[in-house]
Structure 1
């Protein structure tokens, strides 16, 4: 590989930093769309209040950060990454641990509020199952984040895998509670669960990419790190390729199930306008998803956006 000074690498990273505003803008839009969706779901069940919207939105965002982060930690990171770029993976784990600690605190606090207020009228079995799942997930995630060991020993630990499975189950049970309150059945509950899981995978992966992978990679832009970071980002990209249509299809189903197909409902009511706003957000996100790789704006780490460039440099 051609010699690259630290100054050159730093300059390239700084040059691309402004372009990297696109992924940050995407995360902002994802969060805004989820806030609209949370407010809409509470409004449709007659529970709307600013405090409850904030609590429930914080609950789902924190749960998404946990789920998506654990998916990246134990799914997008592969054994070869841990072996070839152990320091990089270890530092990513440490950064995520700090983010996970905040997410867990929000899940615990907001989860109590959601169970006590938003889901107070949901079936007892659902509430009890969700409470147990949240407790187990938080406990397992705490054990996983407090496990101080070299990167290979922190990869897919029993506690980490249990926390990932628990966070998935918590999202599914929360979706079931939402639909039960609206009087829906199995199909609406499945659609809601898939919708929330897609959101969680996207928001958690976006947080990891922006606040974990990139700052860690910028500190050590070696060939092994760039290769590992690029491959992990590509796995996240493939996930997003499925997430976008999933969000659109399940969101459209939920909208039609709740509001019907009358166009006037969507342009003449607050709920309908909220649905249209969410569709607009997803359209913008789709545009950003297409634009980022074309503009090499996926990451400010040189070579990560296009591994073919990296492979070419290695072959020089």
Structure 2
């Protein structure tokens, strides 16, 4: 990409401002979809329990997906100015701190409101709740330059801890058969990848690109790398969502329409259609 082309797409002080609304819309739609999904999965449960379940889903998902983005797709060496890479990393560390704190609060609330006899799910969430703050403290502890290579190891451990908690959450949501659990885990895992990417894009990529126009082209390239995941994410969400709906109400559309969860399923479908449209537009435009 030429310098003049880059400047036309990312004017100084307003980098990606023309496209700033789209990722915010995506993030909002993902939040709405997660509410619909939790209300379907926990239909009949007290409002407090459903609210706590939703918090666990969003916070764990944001942590898992955001860490995947940070570990797999962020490349600090791609920036022309090392200071830009440090700024991106510093902004991510603030987001990471907020995500770990929110995940810890939501996880504790989940353990307090769920049936303690469901040992597999509660145990997995408990492992994540113990490991995640400890690993986060290790990442925050000042260390000499020669020890910085340990940070990717600690961050990978944090990702693993959050993934274990996500698996426990999926078990609490099903707890019936291994197939149902695996399908639910793939469903919430796909959601996690998407919502984590949305968190990264809204709270790291866009603010950094606005304040550091020279970093915008590199950030845009890394954002494209994430968007290449989205067609597969959409397919996984559709396939696993269909399976779960059929398991819940059967194959009949009339049964779904008559079911009390029907409106929430319809809401999720509408939101997913809107999100799929946004993904398709991005793929066609190559943006």
Q: TM-score range by the shorter chain?
A: 0.7 to 0.9
The residue aligned with 2:14 is 13
Please show how residues 85-234 of structure 1 align to structure 2 within 5 Å.
85-117=81-113, 119-120=114-115, 122-145=117-140, 153=148, 157-180=152-175, 184-222=176-214, 225-234=215-224
Task: Find the counterpart in structure 2 of residue 248 from structure 1.
Answer: 238
Q: Distance in 2 between matches of 1:166 and 1:36?
A: 26
Q: Secondary structure, in 3 states, of the residue corresponding to 2:261?
A: helix
Q: Provide the secondary structure at the position in 1 that maps to 2:45.
A: coil
Residue in 1 that maps onto 2:256: 266
TM-score (norm 2): 0.88
Extract structure 1 runs of 4+ deviating beyond 4 A.
1-9, 145-150, 293-296
Residue 52 of structure 1: how far off its partner (Å): 2.2
Which structure 2 residues correspond to residues 29-44 of structure 1 after superposition, within 5 A? 29-43=29-43
User: What is the number of equivalent residue pairs in this alignment?
Assistant: 285
TM-superposed deviation, 1:87: 2.0
Cα drift, residue 34 of structure 1: 0.1
Q: State whether residues 76 and 82 of structure 2, in contact with CA within 8 Å, keep that contact through their aligned partners in structure 1.
A: no
Kept in 1: contact 2:67–2:159 (CA 8 A): yes
Contact 1:88 1:217 (8 Å CA) reproduced: no
* Preserved CA contact (<8 Å) 1:73 1:155: no
Task: Name the structure 1 match of 2:65.
Answer: 68
CA deviation vs aligned residue, 1:71-96 (integer Å, no higher than 9, x gap): 111111136336x4432222122212
1:62-116 deviation line (CA, Å, top 9, x unaligned): 112211221111111136336x443222212221222222222221121112112
Unaligned runs of 5+ in 1: 297-304, 306-316
Contact 1:244 1:286 survives alignment (8 Å) = yes
How many angstroms apart in 1 are the aligned matches of 2:115 and 2:258?
A: 31
Could you list the runs of 5+ residues in structure 2 that have no partner in the other structure? Answer: none
Q: Is the contact between residue 23 and residue 288 of structure 1 (CA under 8 Å) also seen in structure 2?
A: no
Q: Residue in 2 aligned with 1:48?
A: 46
Cα distance change of structure 1 residues 293 and 262 upon mapping to structure 2, 3 Å threshold: closer
1:257 and 2:255 are equivalent in the alignment: no
Shift of 1:145: 4.5
Task: Quote how far apart the aligned CAs of 1:6 are.
Answer: 8.3
Against the structure 1 CA distance between its residues 189 and 91, is the aligned structure 2 distance closer, same or farther, given a 3 Å change threshold?
Answer: same
**How many Å separate the matches in 1 of 2:61 and 2:185?**
13
- Using a 3 Å threshold, how does the CA distance of structure 1 residues 9 and 233 change in structure 2: closer, same or farther? closer
* Whole-angstrom distance in 1 between the partners of 2:35 and 2:230: 20
